[in-house]
């Protein structure tokens, strides 16, 4: 497909989507008009949102150990985004950002949300916590993180239901306890979404080894003893698609894998124990990645067999960078990127992202334009025609990149983590502006500035080399924190 044809097709499709929405609004009092509109439905949306999958954790992005033939084929059939970023270096903030199109700082979720069994109990008034954590022995008081995503935050699912989409969430939610589960945020079906940030086990009946009765997945009842969780998720996705093949659907498959606990199928783990390793060498993690890939393939095959692949936008992405583990036991390796999940470096926030939409996105293409989690909502809203009535969001539609992968989106991107994490992560904020990335630390630690075009590994700190540049970037960053209402750490 030529670039010009692709541009024209996408423009035509968005116009059809907007006309469709207009028809639905005008005919809201008549069933026949609504039925006519739904017969001209926009594409189905399959959003595959993997937990903790690092930028280099699939073959299409450079892994020479993990075997991911289905994900690699997806990349060949669509567009690969090599500078795709998670909205945060940890899970809950990215999940909230992707579903709402807003920066985590604007929502109030800037750290991972504690489940009830971890002490994440709501205040007596049922609202989100306010105030500060005192952090005994540390220099800063840090703002309390929200314990749920407020229901007034409108999600992709809630928007798409306005067009008659069937909506399903499968897998990890991690955005609050039962009163804030997916069913309360626009999803007709919820399989496995609860307040847990990781599964108690990857094998049915998914029970914790320590016997904690609260450490369970309440809405994924046991089905077959020993069944692997990722396989179960894949089956749930296929079942939902099959049951809704005659109407537009939105599936948010947010796999629990590849988050800890590291647990793979024994026969697959054994296979990787016999294979030569590269920069990555953990056979259990490799088995988890392979099971993810198997189920991506199973779902894509279902789309093919049902005749739905041509009219389904598939988005494959992650919620943060990969977990590296420790020198004695590697989990994964994000090289050439620096560091890992939880840290402000590229290894913590850069993620693999692929989009496939046959006939609309040219095959085997690549974009190096920086994109971020919040861009998914405005992209989906534009191609379905819902962008006209949408509230203001922070993300940008990627439809222009679908036809012109080299196009600039002409924007800065920001991150905000006003918390301590362990002994080596202090509160920070980040701005990426063009090729430059400034990490501003709150407290005594010196800021860091990197030229990502010349130094993707972030080895050369350029801070204090050009004071005017430092000041300009910091001013932009502080203006952004004010505009978003970001909660800030304060000195004691």
Q: What is the arithmetic mean of pLDDT over 266-280?
A: 97
Do 368 and 233 share a structural domain?
Answer: yes
Is position 386 within any domain?
yes
Asked if residue 39 has pLDDT above 90, the reply is no
Under the banding of pLDDT at 50, 70 and 90, the label for residue 210 is: confident
**pLDDT: which is higher, 21 or 175:** 175
Same domain assignment for residues 423 and 346: no
Decide which of 367, 395, 411 is a domain's last residue: 411
Q: Are residues 435 and 324 in the same domain?
A: no
pLDDT number for residue 387: 82
Is residue 325 pLDDT above 60, yes or no?
Answer: yes
pLDDT band for 129, please (50, 70, 90 cuts): very high
- For position 204, what pLDDT does the model report? 97
Check if the beta carbon of residue 410 is closer than 8 Å to that of residue 40: no
How many CA atoms within 13 Å lie on the side-chain side of 42?
32
Give residue 4's Cα distance to chain centre.
30
Integer Cα distance of 279 and 337 in angstroms: 12
> Chain-wide mean pLDDT for the chain?
93
Residues 383 and 420 in one domain: no
**Confidence at residue 327, expressed as pLDDT on a 0 to 100 scale:** 84
453 and 398 in a single domain? The answer is: no
Domain assignment of residue 10, yes or no:
no
Co-location of 356 and 468 in the same domain: no
Contact 374, 96 (CB under 8 A): no
User: Residue 19 — pLDDT band, cuts 50, 70, 90?
Assistant: very low
Q: Peptide bond preceding 125: is omega within 30 degrees of 0, i.e. cis? A: no
pLDDT at 445: 87
65 and 156 both lie in a single domain: yes
Q: Looking at the structure, do residues 341 and 481 belong to the same domain, yes or no?
A: no
Q: What share of the chain is helix, strand, coil (3-state, %, to 5)?
A: 35, 15, 50
Whether residue 358 sits in one domain with residue 335: yes
Residue 258 has pLDDT above 90, yes or no: yes
| CATH (domain of 329) | 3.40.720.10
Are 250 and 327 in the same domain? yes
| Rounded average pLDDT over 324-351 | 97
Q: Which DSSP helix (H) or strand (E) runs through 371?
A: strand 371-372
Specify the higher pLDDT residue, 296 or 23. 296
Is 75 in a helix, a strand, or coil? Answer: helix
Task: Confirm whether 166 is domain-assigned.
Answer: yes
Look at residue 394 and tell me whether its pLDDT is greater than 90.
yes
Within 44-180, where are the H helices?
Answer: 69-77, 91-100, 104-107, 156-161
Of 411, 439, 462, which residue is a domain's last?
411
Contacts of 374 (CB under 8 A, 6+ apart): 87, 97, 98, 100, 101, 102, 103, 393, 394, 395
Q: Is 179 within 8 Å of 159 (Cβ atoms)?
A: no
Q: What is the pLDDT of residue 208?
A: 87
Q: What is the domain range of residue 464? A: 414-491
Of residues 379, 313, 386, the one with CA closest to residue 159: 386
From the list 337, 365, 329, 419, the residue with the least C-alpha distance to 134 is: 419
CB atoms within 10 A of CB 103: 29
Distance CA 44, CA 383 (A): 10
β-strand partners of 199 = none
Average pLDDT of span 125-147: 96
What CATH number is attached to the domain comprising 431?
Answer: 3.30.1120.10
Residue 25 covered by a domain: no
Does residue 22 lie within any of the structural domains?
no
Q: 66 with 269: CB under 8 angstroms? A: no
Q: Record the pTM.
A: 0.93
pLDDT of 12 higher than 80: no
Answer whether residue 7 is part of any domain.
no
Q: What DSSP string describes 221-244?
A: ---STT-BHHHHHHHHHHHHHHHT
Question: Given this model, what pLDDT does residue 2 score?
Answer: 54
Say what the pLDDT of residue 13 is. Answer: 56
Mean pLDDT, residues 107-131 taken together: 94
Does position 118 have pLDDT exceeding 80, yes or no?
Answer: yes
As a whole number of angstroms, the distance between CA 484 and CA 199 comes to 33
Domain final residue, candidates 376, 392, 411: 411
Q: Does any domain span residue 368?
A: yes
For residue 6, is it within any domain?
no
Residues 113 and 137 in one domain: yes
At 23, the pLDDT band (50, 70, 90 cuts) reads: very low
Number of domains in the chain: 2
Q: Which residues contact 90 (CB under 8 A, 6 or more apart)?
A: 111, 112, 320, 341, 342, 417
pLDDT of residue 489: 98
- Of the listed ranges 33-42, 92-101, 338-347, 456-465, the one predicted with least confidence: 33-42
For residue 470, give Cα distances in angstroms to 439, 449, 454, 478.
10, 8, 17, 12
Q: What is the pLDDT of residue 62?
A: 97
- pLDDT bucket at 211, cuts 50 / 70 / 90: confident
Residues 297 and 428 in one domain: no
All residues at 6 or more sequence positions from 18 whose CB lies less than 8 Å from its CB, including other chains: 385, 387, 388
């Amino acid at each position: 497909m030529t670039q010009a044809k692709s541009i024209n097709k996408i423009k035509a499709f968005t116009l059809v989507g907007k006309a469709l929405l207009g028809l639905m609004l005008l005919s809201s009092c008549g069933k026949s008009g609504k039925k006519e509109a739904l017969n001209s439905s926009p594409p189905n949306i399959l959003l595959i949102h993997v937990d903790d999958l690092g930028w280099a954790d699939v073959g299409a992005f450079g892994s020479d150990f993990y075997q991911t033939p289905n994900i690699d084929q997806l990349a060949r059939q669509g567009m690969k985004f090599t500078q795709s970023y998670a909205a945060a270096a940890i899970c809950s903030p990215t999940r909230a950002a992707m579903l709402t199109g807003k920066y985590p700082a604007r929502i109030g979720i800037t750290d991972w949300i504690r489940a009830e069994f971890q002490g994440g109990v709501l205040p007596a008034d049922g609202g989100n916590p306010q105030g500060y954590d005192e952090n005994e022995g540390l220099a800063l008081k840090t703002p309390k993180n929200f314990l749920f995503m407020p229901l007034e935050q409108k999600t992709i699912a809630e928007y798409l239901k306005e067009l008659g989409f069937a909506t399903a969430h499968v897998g990890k939610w991690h955005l609050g306890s039962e009163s804030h589960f997916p069913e309360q945020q626009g999803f007709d079906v919820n399989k496995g979404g609860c307040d847990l940030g990781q599964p108690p086990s990857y094998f049915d009946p998914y029970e914790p080894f320590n016997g904690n009765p609260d450490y369970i997945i309440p809405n994924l009842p046991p089905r077959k003893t020993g069944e692997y969780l990722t396989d179960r998720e894949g089956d749930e996705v296929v079942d939902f698609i099959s049951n809704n093949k005659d109407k537009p659907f939105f599936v948010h498959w947010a796999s629990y894998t590849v988050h800890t606990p590291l647990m793979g199928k024994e026969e697959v783990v054994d296979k990787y124990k016999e294979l030569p390793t590269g920069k990555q060498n953990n056979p259990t993690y490799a088995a988890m990645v392979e099971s993810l890939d198997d189920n991506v393939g199973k779902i894509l095959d279902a789309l093919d067999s049902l005749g739905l692949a041509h009219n389904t936008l598939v988005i494959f992405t992650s919620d943060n960078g990969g977990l590296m583990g420790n020198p004695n036991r590697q989990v994964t390796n994000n090289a050439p990127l620096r560091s890992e999940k939880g840290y402000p470096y590229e290894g913590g926030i850069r993620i693999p992202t692929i989009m496939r939409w046959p006939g609309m996105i040219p095959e085997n293409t690549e974009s190096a334009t920086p994109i971020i989690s919040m861009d998914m909502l405005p992209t989906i809203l534009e191609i379905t025609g819902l962008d006209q009535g949408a509230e203001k969001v922070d993300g940008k539609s990627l439809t222009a990149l679908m036809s012109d992968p080299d196009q600039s989106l002409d924007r800065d991107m920001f991150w905000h983590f006003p918390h301590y994490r362990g002994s080596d992560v202090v509160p920070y904020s980040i701005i990426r502006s063009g090729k430059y990335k400034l990490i501003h630390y709150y407290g005594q630690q010196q800021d860091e500035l990197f030229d990502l075009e010349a130094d993707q590994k972030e080895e050369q700190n350029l801070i204090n080399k050009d004071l005017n540049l430092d000041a300009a970037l910091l001013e932009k960053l502080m203006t952004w924190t004010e505009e978003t209402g970001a909660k800030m750490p304060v000195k004691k």
